[in-house]
Amino acid sequence: MENKCTKYEGIMTFGTEEQLLAHIETCEDCKQEHERMQKVSSLIAEVAPQIKAQRKNRAQLKLACASFALIFFVSGLGVINFNSDVRDTIMYGQTLTLEDYGLPVDSYGLITVN
């Protein structure tokens, strides 16, 4: 069984481009590994624009959701401010009780069941 060269990853990570090309010229195992890496690199370069477009679409969707939530909450605050029944019922520091909701309650504030 033949020993395979395992220097490709080390030279590619820590070496220079010239060192890598010089080693590839002399080593058949590393040459095959380099060809495989070039194929993967070309596939990644081919798919990159589609991935960037998907990220852009996600960002636009997040922006639309945030805008909708902001408009929803601002309009909800407008309803509370302009509706005098709600404004008179809810005061600062006051909590709503079951009686405020119009439910039948007993002397303890519990819902009565008839």
Tens of pLDDT, residue by residue over 45-103, are 998 888 888 888 888 999 999 999 999 888 877 666 665 565 555 666 667 777 777 88
Q: How many residues are present in the chain?
A: 114
What pLDDT is recorded for position 17? 87
What pLDDT is recorded for position 65? 95
What pLDDT is recorded for position 6? 80
More confident call, 32 vs 93: 32
Threshold 0.75, pTM exceeds = no
What pLDDT is recorded for position 13? 85
What pLDDT is recorded for position 1? 44
Instruction: Round to the nearest angstrom and report the end-to-end CA distance of the chain.
Output: 90
Beta bridge partners of 105: 111
What pLDDT is recorded for position 98? 77
Say if residues 46 and 38 touch (Cβ distance below 8 Å): no
DSSP state of 23: H
Where does 6-106 have alpha helices with state H?
Answer: 8-14, 17-26, 28-82, 84-89
